[in-house]
């Protein structure tokens, strides 16, 4: 038999094999933004797709401005909550490492999140956390805004983190960006609990005020960058697959009667306490 016909029949398969090899090679390259945590998780977004925070947020308020006057007022109100249950909640809210961080919205969605029972939801939260954090990084590094505790000399809710926080700019807030991104994503896949989830996104950011590690304007722009990250994520196929799978997991968990193991009534009561002037 002639070699030409055999090659003709083989070429389509060869093309497929080469295409798959190319995909494998591409997937093995660390093109996504890696987490600044001890896990090996990566975000969904390539570095080029991360929102450009320096172009998107204005410079932080300067001393003597109306914006900074509000920052100082909210900070005073927040610091008055030190030693209260709200301060203790702010300490708990500071934890973003996984697996603990996966359940910051456990009460809001009404169930626990873990890698075994809800793997897609766990993955969605962990990877989107990295992208929402990355969305604040360039502006943080550029502005290097001093954090409230560096200005007022008062303690934070996480004293063990203070040394690292001194070298990490305050503006915009990374925790708030993550919390707001999670609020938007979770309200999309658990729409019947959207109000509770969005409220949790707001008070999650406010915990950073109570913790004495962020100013009010940090929080506002953190929400903005979290929303920008979510907009970019919706164009990512892997994110889209995980979002759909996570919604199915939530529906399945509810059918089997799964609930949050936290004291949600107590958490709800505590989170109603907030700085009066906070936006």
DSSP label of 64: T
In the set 208, 223, 247, 274, the catalytic residue is 208
In the set 202, 214, 223, 274, the catalytic residue is 214
214 assigned to active site:
yes
Buried b (16+ CB within 10 A) or exposed e, 192-211: ebbebbeebbbbbbbbbbbb
For residues 112 and 279, what is the distance between their CA atoms, to the nearest angstrom?
29
142 assigned to active site:
no
Considering all CA atoms of the chain, what is the largest pairwise distance in Å, rounded to the nearest integer? 89
In the set 143, 145, 147, 175, the catalytic residue is 175
Residue with the two structure tokens 């934890």: 95
What is the DSSP secondary-structure string of 88-112?
HHHHHHT--STTGGGGTTHHHHTS-
CA 105 and chain centroid, separation: 11
In the set 93, 131, 218, 242, the catalytic residue is 218
For residues 243 and 169, what is the distance between their CA atoms, to the nearest angstrom?
31
**Geometric angle at alpha carbon 35, from 34 and 36, rounded to 5°:** 120
Q: Which of 249, 261, 266 is nearest to 123 (CA)?
A: 249
Catalytic residues: 175, 208, 214, 218
């Amino acid at each position: 038999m002639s070699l030409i016909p055999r090659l003709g029949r083989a070429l389509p398969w060869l093309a497929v094999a080469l295409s798959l090899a190319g995909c494998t090679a591409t997937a093995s390259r660390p093109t996504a933004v890696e987490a600044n945590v001890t896990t090996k998780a990566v975000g969904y977004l390539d570095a080029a797709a991360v929102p450009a925070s320096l172009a998107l947020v204005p410079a932080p308020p300067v001393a003597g401005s109306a914006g900074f006057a509000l920052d100082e007022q909210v900070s005073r109100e927040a610091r008055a909550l030190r030693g209260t249950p709200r301060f203790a909640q702010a300490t708990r809210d500071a934890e973003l490492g996984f697996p603990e961080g996966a359940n910051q919205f456990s009460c809001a969605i009404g169930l626990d999140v873990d890698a075994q029972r809800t793997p897609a939801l766990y993955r969605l939260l962990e990877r989107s956390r990295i992208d929402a954090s990355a969305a604040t990084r360039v502006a943080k590094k550029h502005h290097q805004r001093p954090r409230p505790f560096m200005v007022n000399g008062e303690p934070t809710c996480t004293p063990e983190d203070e040394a690292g926080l001194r070298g990490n700019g305050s503006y915009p807030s990374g925790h708030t960006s993550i919390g707001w991104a999670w609020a938007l994503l979770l309200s999309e896949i658990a729409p019947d609990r959207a109000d509770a989830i969005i409220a949790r996104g707001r008070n999650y950011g406010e915990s950073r005020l109570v913790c004495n590690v962020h100013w009010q304007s940090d929080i506002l722009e953190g929400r903005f960058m979290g929303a920008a990250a979510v907009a970019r994520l919706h164009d990512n196929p892997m994110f889209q697959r995980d979002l759909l799978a996570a919604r199915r997991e939530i529906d399945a968990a509810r059918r089997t009667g799964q609930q949050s193991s936290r004291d949600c009534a107590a958490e709800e009561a505590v989170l109603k306490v907030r700085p009066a002037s906070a936006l």
